[in-house]
C-alpha cells in the first residue's frame, strides 16, 4: 500500500482535532475549555464542570439548576436492572460490574440509542450521568454484602453518591461535608484529559455510530487497566506491599530502577506530562487536608511522600522525566474516606464520564468524522499455496 510509517501507541499521531481540553505536558498545564484546572478545582462544582466540558461554555445559574434537577430525576434504575446486579458474583471486581451495568443500559433505553438524534443524545447523557454513580455504589454494596439503597434525590450529586455507598437501611446517614467537598474536587480533577486511552476508546467505538452507552462501557473497560485508571488501585497495593515487606522505600526504588520483573513505580510517569502533573499537586494538598480533617493517620501517606522524595531526586527518574501523576495520592484519600481499594478506579470512572460524553458528542457533531480504522504494516508470510489434499 506504500505505507511506511508506524506509530505504536500513537506517540506522534493526532487522531482528531478537539476543542475540549488543552495540555502542555512540558510545562505541566491543564485547562478545560480554556480554564486552568487550578481555578476549576477551587471555584467550580462537578456538574458545572461537566456542563462546561459537554456544552463548551459555563452554564448560567438557571441552566445549571435545570441540569442538576434533570439528573436527579433520572437516578432510579429500572427494578429489573437493579436486580441484574444479583446475577453477578459477589467477589467480582466493581469495574467489571460497572462496565456490565452500563452496557446493560442499552437494553433498557432502546428509545435513546441513536447517535444522530440530538434529543436522544441529550437524554442518554442525562441518564448516564444520573445512573452511573448509582450503579457504582451498587457494585460497592454488592462487594460487601450490604443491601442496596435507593437514591435520595434531595441530595446533591456527590452527597447522594456518598449515601448510596456508606448509608445503610438500619441507620440515618449524615454526609460529612469535608468528605463531600474533597470527593467533589477529586472527581472534578478527573473530568477530562483529552485523548487518553479510555477516551480514545470511547471515540473509536463511537466512530462506528455505536450508541453512547456501548461506547462508554468500552471506555470503562479501557480505564480498568493498571497502566491507566487502574493505577490508583495499583498504587495502594504497592504502598501496602512496601509496608508489609518492611524492606524500606529505598529498596523498592532500587527494584524499580533494575526493572525487576517489570516492577514500576505506580502513580509515576505519564505519556504527556514531562513535568509535575498539575492534578497531582492538587491531590497532594487534598490528601493532607482530608486526613487531618478526618483525624486519620495513615503510614501509607508517609511511605508515598518518601517514595516521591527519593524518586524526584534520583537520576533514573530525572533523566526519564518521571513525576507523580494524578493517581499517586488519590488512593490514600479514598481509603481515608472509607472506600475499599477495588472501588478506586470506579471513582475515576465517575469522574471521567463527562469527558467521555463530551468527546463522543464532539466527534458525532463533526461532519469530518470518519470511522476509526488504523492501518498496519504486514509482517506475515508472503502468498503461498495451500497444501494439496
- For the CB of residue 146, give the shortest distance to ligand CMC in the complex, in Å: 28
Closest to ligand CMC by CB, 25 vs 340, is 25
- For the CB of residue 374, give the shortest distance to ligand CMC in the complex, in Å: 17
Q: Is 261 in the active site?
A: no
- For the CB of residue 314, give the shortest distance to ligand CMC in the complex, in Å: 11
Residue 293 exposure: Cα atoms within 13 Å on the Cβ side? 15
Closest to ligand CMC by CB, 196 vs 207, is 196
Q: What is the secondary structure of 192-215 as a DSSP string? A: --TT-HHHHHHHHHHTTT--HHHH
Closest to ligand CMC by CB, 88 vs 263, is 263
CA 100 to each of CA 82, 92, 106, 160, 378: distance values in angstroms, whole numbers, following the listed order: 12, 11, 11, 22, 35
Q: Which of 74, 190, 193, 270 is catalytic?
A: 270
> Is 312:208 a contact under the CB 8 Å cutoff?
no
Q: Give the three-state DSSP class for 46.
A: helix
- For the CB of residue 284, give the shortest distance to ligand CMC in the complex, in Å: 14
> Is 265:257 a contact under the CB 8 Å cutoff?
no
Give the number of other Cβ atoms within 10 Å of residue 68's Cβ: 18
Closest to ligand CMC by CB, 121 vs 266, is 266
Cα gap 132→161, rounded to integer Å: 10
DSSP structure class, residue 324: B
Q: Which of 93, 192, 327, 359 is catalytic?
A: 327
Q: Is 270 in the active site?
A: yes
Closest to ligand CMC by CB, 111 vs 315, is 315
- For the CB of residue 266, give the shortest distance to ligand CMC in the complex, in Å: 5
> Is 148:95 a contact under the CB 8 Å cutoff?
no
State the helix-helix crossing angle for 118-144 and 212-223, rounded to 10 degrees.
40
Which residues contact ligand CMC by CB under 6 A? 9, 196, 227-229, 231, 256, 264-271, 320, 322, 325-327
Catalytic residues: 270, 327
Amino acid at each position: 500500500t506504500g505505507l511506511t510509517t508506524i506509530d505504536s501507541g500513537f506517540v506522534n499521531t493526532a487522531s482528531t482535532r478537539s476543542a475540549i481540553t488543552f495540555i502542555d505536558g512540558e510545562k505541566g498545564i491543564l485547562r478545560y475549555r480554556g480554564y486552568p484546572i487550578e481555578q476549576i478545582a477551587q471555584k467550580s462544582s462537578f456538574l458545572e464542570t461537566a456542563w462546561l466540558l459537554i456544552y463548551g461554555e459555563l452554564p448560567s445559574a438557571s441552566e445549571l439548576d435545570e441540569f442538576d434537577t434533570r439528573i436527579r430525576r433520572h437516578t432510579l434504575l429500572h427494578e429489573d436492572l437493579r436486580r441484574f446486579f444479583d446475577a453477578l458474583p459477589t467477589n467480582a471486581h466493581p469495574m467489571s460490574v460497572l462496565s456490565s451495568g452500563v452496557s446493560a443500559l442499552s437494553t433498557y433505553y432502546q428509545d435513546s440509542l441513536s447517535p444522530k438524534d440530538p434529543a436522544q443524545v441529550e437524554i442518554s447523557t442525562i441518564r448516564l450521568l444520573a445512573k452511573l454513580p448509582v450503579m457504582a455504589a451498587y457494585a460497592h454494596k454488592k462487594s460487601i454484602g450490604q443491601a442496596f439503597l435507593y437514591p435520595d434525590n434531595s441530595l446533591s450529586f456527590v452527597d447522594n453518591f456518598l449515601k448510596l455507598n456508606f448509608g445503610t437501611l438500619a441507620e440515618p446517614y449524615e454526609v460529612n461535608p469535608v468528605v463531600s467537598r474533597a470527593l467533589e474536587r477529586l472527581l472534578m480533577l478527573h473530568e477530562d484529559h483529552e485523548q487518553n486511552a479510555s477516551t480514545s476508546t470511547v471515540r473509536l467505538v463511537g466512530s462506528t455510530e455505536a450508541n453512547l452507552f456501548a461506547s462508554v462501557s468500552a471506555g470503562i473497560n479501557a480505564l480498568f487497566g493498571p497502566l491507566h485508571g487502574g493505577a490508583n488501585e495499583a498504587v495502594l497495593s504497592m504502598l501496602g506491599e512496601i509496608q508489609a515487606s518492611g524492606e524500606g522505600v529505598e529498596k523498592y526504588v532500587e527494584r524499580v530502577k533494575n526493572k525487576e520483573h517489570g516492577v514500576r513505580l505506580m502513580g509515576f510517569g505519564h505519556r504527556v506530562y514531562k513535568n509535575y502533573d498539575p492534578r497531582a499537586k492538587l491531590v497532594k494538598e487534598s490528601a493532607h487536608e482530608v486526613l487531618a480533617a478526618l483525624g486519620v493517620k495513615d503510614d501509607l501517606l508517609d511511605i508515598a511522600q518518601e517514595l516521591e522524595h527519593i524518586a524526584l531526586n534520583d537520576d533514573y527518574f530525572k533523566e526519564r522525566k518521571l513525576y507523580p501523576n494524578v493517581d499517586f495520592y488519590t488512593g490514600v484519600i479514598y481509603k481515608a474516606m472509607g472506600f475499599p481499594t477495588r472501588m478506586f478506579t470506579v471513582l475515576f470512572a465517575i469522574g471521567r464520564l463527562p469527558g467521555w460524553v463530551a468527546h463522543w458528542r464532539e466527534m458525532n457533531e463533526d461532519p469530518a468524522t470518519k470511522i476509526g480504522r488504523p492501518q498496519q504494516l504486514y509482517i506475515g508470510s508472503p502468498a503461498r499455496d495451500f497444501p494439496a489434499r
